[in-house]
């Protein structure tokens, strides 16, 4: 009898362990199908297909490593982001993300599976209207923060600008660095991002007070990818770079761009340090969101966002180098 009781306890412990393990690993990829002699296609199972802003690539890779046990190399290929405007469209139009793959398993992820979840910068008014026109109700959930920053060439003597000075530069009211403490007379080249990119949306809403007209007909307006903008500020073209100003997100500049000769300046005399971002003293604090279709609230997307907001999710956000929101 004693032996039978011991076996029963052992079986109960095994069942508990299996149950706990299943709960801990509730986000898992599905099965795979052979599509050629040397490649497979895998479905997403209970793990959401994620698209998003470039600045959030590192966080999405951390998610994949945490939940799917991926190596860093596999996670980099598994997480394929199409940049903010395209990722928003993919979510709204229920398009797939054909760029996702797992090299070590020679696996391509199901290209027809619609994007379930977006993570990154907020929706623009145009994108919200686009969702409405397509009869798609979106849920936007704030998940972490970052600083929206301005960058100049490392040799530029300017260390800080006020918000009014920045607006003046981008509205073509201020043309010369000497007018804002930049030493000798030098023509200012303000660089901007493409419409509906995450940083451009932040620029319009946080700095330009909702006015996007400053880029229309502006000869000094230059469009391109975020890395491209920073390369120009860093001196890709010496005449432009030495005299340029641009904008980005602090995490991207410090952790992802790896571009020399670029420095982040203070705004209204306040530097975007961790402490100043958390306290709100730095005036341009951006919020990153998880966005999904409301119809998927009880599906993989909604459940994954619940996990992101959990203590474990918040800890992973912080470990990945982002600033989690305070708990309510």
Confidence class of residue 182 from pLDDT cuts 50, 70 and 90?
confident
Mean pLDDT of the 188-193 span: 86
**HSE value, Cβ hemisphere, 13 Å, CA-based, for 101:** 10
CATH number for 147-285 (one of 3.30.750.80, 3.30.70.2200, 3.40.190.10, 3.90.1170.50): it is 3.40.190.10
The third-level CATH classification (topology) of the domain covering 28-142+287-324 is D-Maltodextrin-Binding Protein; domain 2 (3.40.190)
Q: What is the DSSP letter of 194?
A: P
In the chain, where the domains are located: 28-142+287-324, 147-285
pLDDT tens per residue, range 94-106: 999 999 999 999 9
Pairing of strands 285-293, 244-249: unpaired
Confidence class of residue 210 from pLDDT cuts 50, 70 and 90?
confident
DSSP states along 150-168: EEEETT----EE-HHHHHH
Give me 277's structure tokens. 């971002």
Mean pLDDT of the 168-193 span: 88
pLDDT tens per residue, range 14-54: 433 333 333 455 899 999 999 888 889 999 999 999 999 99
- CA-closest candidate to residue 274, choices 321, 328, 226, 320: 321
The vertex-214 CA angle with 148 and 209, nearest 5°, equals: 50
Given this model, what pLDDT does residue 26 score? 87
d(CA 119, CA 143): 9
3-state helix, strand, coil in the chain (%, to 5): 40, 20, 40
- Cβ neighbors of 78 (< 8 A, separation 6 or more) are 61, 64, 68, 70, 100, 101, 102, 109
Mean pLDDT of the 266-273 span: 97
Residue 212, helix vs strand vs coil: coil
């Amino acid at each position: 009898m004693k032996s039978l009781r011991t076996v029963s306890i052992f079986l109960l412990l095994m069942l508990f362990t299996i149950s706990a393990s299943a709960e801990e690993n509730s986000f898992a990829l599905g099965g795979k199908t052979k599509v050629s002699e040397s490649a497979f296609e895998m479905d997403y199972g209970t793990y959401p297909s994620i698209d998003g802003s470039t600045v959030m690539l590192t966080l999405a890779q951390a998610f994949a490593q945490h939940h799917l046990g991926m190596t860093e190399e596999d996670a980099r290929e598994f997480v394929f982001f199409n940049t903010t405007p395209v990722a928003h469209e993919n979510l709204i139009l229920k398009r797939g993300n054909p760029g996702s793959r797992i090299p070590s398993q020679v696996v391509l992820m199901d290209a027809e599976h619609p994007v379930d979840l977006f993570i990154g910068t907020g929706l623009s008014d145009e994108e919200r209207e686009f969702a409405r026109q397509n009869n798609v109700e979106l849920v936007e959930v704030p998940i972490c923060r970052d600083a929206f920053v301005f960058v100049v060439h490392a040799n530029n003597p300017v260390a800080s600008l006020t918000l009014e000075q920045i607006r003046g530069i981008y509205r073509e009211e201020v043309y010369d660095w000497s007018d804002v403490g930049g030493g000798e007379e030098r023509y200012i080249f303000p660089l901007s991002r493409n419409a509906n990119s995450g940083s451009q949306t932040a620029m319009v809403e946080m700095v330009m007070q909702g006015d996007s007209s400053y880029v229309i007909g502006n000869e000094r307006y230059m469009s391109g990818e975020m890395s491209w903008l920073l390369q120009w500020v860093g001196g890709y073209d010496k005449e432009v770079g030495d005299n340029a100003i641009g904008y980005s997100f602090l995490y991207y500049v410090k952790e992802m761009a790896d571009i020399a000769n670029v420095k982040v300046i203070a705004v209204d005399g306040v530097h975007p340090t961790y402490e100043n971002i958390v306290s709100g003293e730095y005036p341009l604090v951006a919020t990153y969101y998880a966005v999904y279709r409301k119809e998927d609230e009880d599906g993989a997307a909604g459940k994954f966002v619940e996990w992101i907001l959990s203590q474990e999710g918040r800890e992973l956000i912080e470990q990945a180098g982002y600033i989690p929101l305070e708990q309510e």
